[in-house]
Amino acid sequence: MTLYLTQDEVRSVLDMKSTLEAVESGFREMGLGNIEMPARVYLHFDKGVLIAMPAYIKPLNAAGLKVVTVHPENPAKHNLPAVIARIILNDPDKGEPLAIMDGTYITALRTGAAGGVGIKYLSRKDSKTAGIIGLGVQGRSQLLGLMEVRDVEEVKVFDVIPAAKKKYVEEMSKEVSVDIKAVDSVADAARNSDIVITCTPSTKPFLKGEMLEAGVHVSAIGADVSAKRELNTSVLTRADKLVVDFKAQAFVVGDFAVPLKEGTVKEEDVYAELGEIVAGKKKGRTSDDEITLFKATGLAIQDVGTAYKVYQLAQERGIGIEI
């Protein structure tokens, strides 16, 4: 029998705290060499992409596959989420599917959690001010992940859509206990910020190296395919530490692929994969003045680890339908 879980059922058992725990554990096992995860596979459409993401986390004895589509025009044109996903969780011993569940909500939370893990290990512990650029689903999720790991006092937010700023401030001020202030530009969001988070679908770089101040941590989340780019090459050259989630994927997405093609950045310029730092094999931040950058592309271990936690919680609470 296979357990089927809807998005509402997934939401009923999953929060950011438990997601962050699952994602951080996944990074640690990756750093220790206890996972099997090929680079994700893409199908490119005129309006978006389909991505297949398999992974096996050996200590959990959990394996699975996420199939996710990313269609940026969906919200405006079809009243659908830009990201739609399903996750199949398998039993590695028997090969049978343990569960099939909505992956859209898991994708939103685990991406915020990945940003949170990067912030935990790479930002200054006394960080008080953050800037968030891009106020869609990930703008919300990244804030939740940030608040789990840092006691920030002010969050400056920017989006190219003015109405999105107003709505974000109104809604997220009810979700978290922090002063959220809308600003007029990317530069305003980055100015005097200890942490800068980018989470947009932009195809043109907007964050520049000269906007970054000593000691800042940049959490680059949005560019997940070759056609997307948030970071000007000057951001990569200004950073003292370049950290990625998975080298095999990092140089496929625009933020790193373009500078690589230009010859400005080489693969050996990447200091570490985040899992190496979480596992203690390499140090994270080593001084208050260094500029750190974490580039997230999205990993299947995040999906499988979180889905396995959802599966366990659902079984404990008797949630879902056996099919």
Give CA separation, 248 vs 29, 257, 298, in Å.
17, 11, 12
Q: Strand order of the sheet with strand 217-220?
A: 179-182, 154-158, 129-133, 195-198, 217-220, 292-295, 241-244, 272-273
Handedness of CA 195, 199, 205, 206 (dihedral sign): negative
149 and 286 both lie in a single domain? yes
Beta strand 217-220 pairing with 62-70: unpaired
Positions annotated as catalytic residues are: 66
Please report whether residue 119 resides in a domain: no
Residues whose CB is less than 8 angstroms from the CB of residue 62 and which lie 6 or more positions away in sequence, other chains included? 56, 89, 92, 304, 305, 307, 308
Write the pLDDT tens digit of every residue in 233-266.
Answer: 999 999 999 999 999 899 988 899 999 999 999 9
Please report whether residue 159 resides in a domain: yes
Please report whether residue 120 resides in a domain: no
Number of Cβ within 10 Å of residue 177's Cβ equals 9
- In angstroms, the CA 103 to CA 101 distance is 6
Strand partners of residue 295: 220, 244
For residue 69, how many C-alpha atoms fall within 13 Å in the half-sphere facing its CB?
13
One-letter amino acid of 301: I
237 and 191 both lie in a single domain? yes
165 and 283 both lie in a single domain? yes
182 and 80 both lie in a single domain? no
What is the value of pTM for the model shown?
A: 0.94
Please report whether residue 118 resides in a domain: no
Q: Which residues of the chain have pLDDT under 50?
A: none
List of E strands, 103-258:
129-133, 154-158, 179-182, 195-198, 217-220, 241-244
Element containing residue 85 per DSSP (H, E): strand 83-90
96 and 229 both lie in a single domain? no
One-letter amino acid of 91: D
| CATH number of the domain that residue 58 is part of | 3.30.1780.10
33 and 179 both lie in a single domain? no
Q: How far apart are the first and last CA of the chain?
A: 6
203 and 307 both lie in a single domain? no
In this prediction, residue 148 carries a pLDDT of 98
The total of structural domains in the chain comes to 2
287 and 163 both lie in a single domain? yes
In this prediction, residue 225 carries a pLDDT of 78
In this prediction, residue 316 carries a pLDDT of 97
Tell me 210's DSSP state: G
In this prediction, residue 224 carries a pLDDT of 82
Q: Which residue carries 């951080």 as its tokens?
A: 24
Please report whether residue 114 resides in a domain: no
82 and 191 both lie in a single domain? no
150 and 138 both lie in a single domain? yes
215: phi > 0 → left, psi -120 to 50 → alpha, else beta; which?
left
224 and 137 both lie in a single domain? yes
Number of Cβ within 10 Å of residue 107's Cβ equals 26
For residue 236, how many C-alpha atoms fall within 13 Å in the half-sphere facing its CB?
28
In this prediction, residue 24 carries a pLDDT of 98
22 and 152 both lie in a single domain? no
Write the pLDDT tens digit of every residue in 125-143.
Answer: 999 999 999 999 999 999 9
Residues whose CB is less than 8 angstroms from the CB of residue 214 and which lie 6 or more positions away in sequence, other chains included? 289, 290, 291
In this prediction, residue 51 carries a pLDDT of 94
Beta strand 49-57 pairing with 241-244: unpaired
Please report whether residue 257 resides in a domain: yes
In this prediction, residue 232 carries a pLDDT of 96
| CATH number of the domain that residue 264 is part of | 3.40.50.720
What are the backbone dihedrals phi and psi of residue 68, each rounded to the nearest 5 degrees, phi first? -130, 140
Q: Which residue carries 């990074």 as its tokens?
A: 27
For residue 3, how many C-alpha atoms fall within 13 Å in the half-sphere facing its CB?
21
Please report whether residue 43 resides in a domain: yes
- The residue segments making up the domain with residue 48 are 3-107+301-322
Encode 152-175: b = buried (16+ Cβ within 10 Å), e = exposed.
beebbbbbeeeebbeebbeebeee
